[in-house]
């Protein structure tokens, strides 16, 4: 996946989601669902 900074990230990289701090819970659910 691509984060807002345009960097490629692992689908399961929740740390990146936490750093972004945007819709964290929704994104975590999405990432877990995609595993």
pLDDT in tens, 7-32: 665 655 655 555 555 555 666 666 66
Q: What pLDDT score was predicted for residue 33?
A: 61
Q: What pLDDT score was predicted for residue 3?
A: 56
* Closest by Cα among 4, 10, 8 to 32: 10
Neighbours of 28 (CB within 10 A): 13
With 0-12 / 13-18 / 19 or more C-beta atoms within 10 angstroms meaning exposed / middle / buried, residue 34 is exposed
pLDDT band at 6 (very low <50, low <70, confident <90, very high): low
Cα–Cα distance between 33 and 7 in angstroms, integer? Answer: 21
Q: What pLDDT score was predicted for residue 25?
A: 60
Q: What pLDDT score was predicted for residue 21?
A: 59
Check pLDDT > 60 for residue 1: no
List C-alpha distances in Å: 22 to 9, 15, 18.
16, 12, 8
Find the domain containing 32 and state its range: 1-35
């Amino acid at each position: 996946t691509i984060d807002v900074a345009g960097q490629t990230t692992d689908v399961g990289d929740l740390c990146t989601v936490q750093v972004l701090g945007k819709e964290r819970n929704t994104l975590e659910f999405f990432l877990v669902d995609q595993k």
